Amino acid sequence: MSGLAGTSLGRYYLKERLGRGGMSEVYLAWDEQMQREVAIKVVSSTHIDYIERFHREAEAISHLHHAHILPALDYGEQEPWHYLVMPYIGHGTLRDLLINDPLTLEETGALLEQVTEALQFAHNQGIIHRDIKPSNILMRDDHYVYLADFGLAKTLEGGSTVTQTGNLLGTPEYMAPELADGPATTSSDLYALGILLYQMVTGQLPFSGETPVAVYWKQLQDMPTRPSHINPDVPPAIEQVIMKALDKKPQRRYQSAKELAEAYINALTFPNEVVKESVATPSFYSTTSMNGGSGSAAPVLAQREKLVLPNDPLVAPSAAPQRRRRLIRRVVPPAMRRRGSRAASLPPYPAEPVVPAVARQRVYVSQPKVQVPSRRRRILYRRRNRILISFMVVLVMLLLVIVVILTLAYIYK
């Protein structure tokens, strides 16, 4: 597939290959109609199982129009290729930003707010991402991000997944413990978001190992090192938010992406209030010797165990009204300015960075609806491919028979 550079798919001229996955490749291309650079993910129609996942990714993105979700611009087929067209974001990923040092707490809050807005919007549309990680968060510049790669996405209503193999899907370093024996839920996305938050403030993953199985075993059994033990600048209030997001039990985590973001910002802005709350309601990571103290913590913990939580992970338990805290303004922190900004050289699509006055509002980006082939069409494609392959095999066999006959006729002539 690497030979596609220098060729065209429809109106898109493929300039160079940007990356390669298991069965797909991503190319930098030129849109001759719109006169702009785009990124195109290409997969061969011979990979029948992967085509189904490819269609689901296109279908998922076509329903998600949000300022911080990388949109789909077009979807097409040109035998034997299927391709998905997206905006080209040339500023790297969050993974590139985390290579050298962790982010400051303020930088983390600014980026976390954008990612949680995108994830909350996807959850509200009934779509679970299932692969939240730094390499799937694209940087348009040093302070504006897109959530990308919905190739493993799953719908909440139908429970449909991108594969029928029964294997665990995702990246072990970011997979929730409950995925070992249960389906993906919004809470498993929030666990991955907690891993991401941990990584942003410490520069490290909470769990690592030599093999994917070893890593996931630690997700199931081990407790993460507290962030303050790695980065002393992490205050107790921020640490409490991160550890709650990484709770082994889904019902004890935050119940929505919005709730997690607000808890982080409140901890950053009002650390004393958050610390007082943690004393009143001990978390899953609290020590087990609490009833040896004042004697008031054990009854509170017992009451916490009896809470009846809703089945829908998007709905938070009812609680007493609390003061709403304004999220921090989306500005460029000084540490990010020092990294240098290349925003001026970026392509104009899709928009200029939003101004702080509008940053706290939900923004919807109007994108053309991507036409995804129906299930019937996909079945027809598979049958056609099988027929073509069978025809080619028969043709080759006939040619071999003819060659053998001619050879024998020449020998015994």
Query: Can you tell me which residue has the tokens 């991503």?
Result: 26
What is the predicted pLDDT for the residue at 322?
45
User: 170's torsion region: left (phi>0), alpha (psi -120 to 50) or beta?
Assistant: left
Q: DSSP letters of 141-191?
A: ETTEEEE---TT-EETTT---S-SS----S-GGG--GGGGSS---HHHHHH
Q: How confident is the model at residue 79 (pLDDT cuts 50, 70, 90)?
A: confident
Q: What is the pLDDT of residue 373?
A: 61
pLDDT of residue 369: 58
Lowest mean pLDDT across 36-45, 152-161, 387-396: 152-161
Return the CATH number of 94-281+297-346, one of 3.40.190.10, 1.10.510.10, 1.20.1070.10, 1.10.3720.10: 1.10.510.10
- Which residues are the active-site residues? 131
373-382, pLDDT tens digit by residue?
666 666 777 7
Nearest-angstrom CA–CA distance, 163 and 179: 15
**Residue 165: CA count within 13 A, CB half-sphere:** 9
Q: Is 58 exposed, middle or buried (0-12, 13-18, 19+ CB in 10 A)?
A: buried
Give the lowest-confidence range in 71-85, 203-217, 298-312, 398-412: 298-312
Burial of residue 15 (CB within 10 Å: 0-12, 13-18, 19+) is middle
Instruction: Quote the pLDDT of residue 150.
Output: 81
CA–CA separation, 205 and 173 (whole Å):
7
pLDDT grade for 371, boundaries at 50, 70 and 90: low
Residue 159: predicted pLDDT:
45
Q: Give pLDDT tens digits for 306-345.
A: 333 333 333 333 344 444 444 444 444 444 444 444 444 4
Percentage of the chain modeled with pLDDT above 70: 69
DSSP secondary structure, 7-24, as one string: -EETTEEEEEEEEE-SSE
Instruction: Indicate the DSSP class of residue 406.
Output: H
Q: How does pLDDT run across 188-223, given as a tens digit for each residue?
A: 999 999 999 999 999 999 999 989 999 999 999 999
Tens-place pLDDT, residues 100-144: 889 999 999 999 999 999 999 999 999 999 889 999 999 998 889
- Residues 240 and 274: beta-carbon distance below 8 Å: yes
pLDDT over 90 percentage in the chain? 43
Write down the pLDDT at residue 58: 81
What mean pLDDT is predicted for residues 385-403? 89
Residue position matching structure tokens 């509200």: 124
Please give the Cα distance from 238 to 130 (Å, whole number): 25
Residue with tokens 């509002």: 361
What's the chain's average pLDDT? 76
Most confident range (mean pLDDT) of 100-104, 156-160, 257-261, 361-365 is 257-261
pLDDT of residue 20: 80
Write down the domain spans for the chain.
2-88, 94-281+297-346, 374-413
**HSE of 121, CA atoms in CB hemisphere, 13 A:** 23
CATH number (3.40.50.920, 3.40.50.2300, 3.30.470.10, 3.30.200.20) of 2-88 reads 3.30.200.20
pLDDT tens digits, residue range 11-32?
Answer: 999 999 988 876 788 999 999 9
Contact indicator for 148, 137 with CB cutoff of 8 Å: yes
**Which has more confidence, 267 or 130?**
267
- Please determine, for residue 164, whether its predicted confidence score (pLDDT) is greater than 50: no
Take residue 97 and report the two structure tokens written for it: 């930003």
Q: What is the pLDDT of residue 115?
A: 97
Q: Picking from 47-56, 228-237, 365-374, which range would have the lowest pLDDT averaged per residue?
A: 365-374
Better-scored residue on pLDDT, 95 or 280: 95
Query: Does position 300 have pLDDT exceeding 60, yes or no?
Result: no
221-230 confidence digits (pLDDT tens): 999 999 999 9
